[in-house]
A and B are shown apart, each in its own frame.
Chain A
Amino acid sequence: MPHVKVAKKSTDTDMTPFVDVAFLILSFFIMATQFKPPEPVPVETPNSVSSDILKEENSMLITVDKDNKVFININEKKGGNTGKLNDVISDISQSRTLNLTPAEMTSFTKAPIIGVPFNQLRGFLDLPHDQQEKQPQPGIPVLDTLNNELVWWIASVKKAFAGQKLLYLVKGDNKSKYPTFEAIINALRKNEEFKYNLVTSQEGAPEGTDLYKERRGIK
């Protein structure tokens, strides 16, 4: 009698490829995740209901830390021509008669964040790059209305980015006091800049409020 053998198939599935893929994806994510570079100035931003995503390209970031110290850094378009930072520092050097050397200007373009008064700028830029990060910076003086150095910085940045879209980002710490923020606004105002963005962390709109209704499409 012919006997047809039905092949007994195992119910076990070979999971090896599955594991392979899982770990491949895992290693991809681990490698692709760019851990935020340790911020030169730790800042805890306040929450807001605003949901616009921050764009850092072509922006001047004004940071206020918890001790009301003001720092700036300038972000260019990624891959764009990097001459802007040089323009800024040579303009500052000229307008404040700092007479910086080309080496010091190059140092500026690589500096992580600037938070020193003009009279200490040269000393700061003379430091090697890895020491600049560790060097505690006193912050840019802003509170003195007659000597608000941020005005000069903004003026130079504005000049360097003339004709291009430039965002002014203000990133303040929760604990920083209002007068510093006001001084920043005043510095921007003196440069005829009235639009700027505050960097915040996102939170949802509270229930029952007008914004909540609007976002949900309830009349």
Chain B
Amino acid sequence: MASIDSGGGDSGHKKGPGVKKAKKLSTRVDMTPMVDLGFLLITFFIFTATMKSPTTMDLNMPKETDKKDETKIKQSGALTIMLSKDNNVYYYEGELAPDGSNFKRSNFKDIRKVIQDKKKEVIKNHVHDDKCEDIKLKAKNRVPPDPNWQTADLDRDFVVVIKPDAEATYKNTVDILDEMTINAVKRFAMVKISETEDGLIKKTEGGK
């Protein structure tokens, strides 16, 4: 234990027989709890110093002017997700039915399942053609190479269209973009919401 030399050790002159020895109180302090505390604080500071470094999410937007570059999407592989107020999510597969019958309501918990199911469905219905080899080759030659390049062509028809409305929050937007990363959706686009869809959302919300 830590000790502080009190100066009056056994060395030195002996006192006479009649002199009573004063009882020596130990000046030692048990420092273990202090060390414990010290290291606890150190650990705390180390952790807080590195834990919360902000991260970034890359976002690439297509050029709006490139009309000819506009990718035609197959309706069978399209999933449109709309975001609205109070974290509500709406979606439909393929084209919106004129009567709005395939317009469904969801939330952020369930939308993952919807995306995954749709992806599986698209992969199942995949028809092999010439373009597939191109996609595979592209994935293989990418830097760094796609480890799953052999299956890169399977979900090529899968496109998610994201349409946040005016009431959607930024968090919703980031969450849904995140959902794309989580579910490895390669093609997605952010598009302005159409009036029909806006109307349908209003109708669903008003009709509850």
Contact = CB atoms under 8 A, between A and B. Distances in A.
Interface string B157-177: 000000011111111111101
Contacts of A47: 178
B58 A197 contact: yes
Contact of A200 (B45, B48, B54, B83): B54
Interface residues of A, number: 59
Contacts of A30: 45
A49 B54 contact: no
A206 B184 CA distance: 12
A70 B170 CA distance: 13
Contacts of B73: none
Contacts of B63: 189, 192, 194
A177 B168 contact: yes
A196 B53 contact: no
Contact of A46 (B164, B171, B181): B171
A202 B171 CA distance: 14
A52 B55 contact: yes
A201 B52 contact: yes
Contacts of A19: 2, 31, 34-35, 38
Contact of B38 (A23, A45, A196, A199): A23
Contacts, number: 168
A169 interface: yes
B169 A174 contact: yes
Which label, helix, strand, loop or mixed, suits the secondary structure of the B interface?
Answer: mixed
How many of chain B's residues touch chain A, expressed as a range? 35 or more
A91 B56 CA distance: 29
B181 A178 contact: no
Nearest to A29: B45
Contacts of A219: 148
B183 A200 contact: no
Given A33-B45, A46-B170, A22 B55 contact: no
Contacts of A172: 170-171, 174
B56 A189 contact: no
Contacts of B116: 209-210
Given A52-B57, A169-B56, A196-B59, 19 more contacts: A14-B1, A15-B32, A16-B2, A16-B31, A22-B39, A45-B54, A46-B170, A48-B55, A52-B56, A54-B54, A54-B55, A175-B170, A179-B166, A189-B61, A200-B56, A209-B116, A211-B183, A212-B182, A214-B184
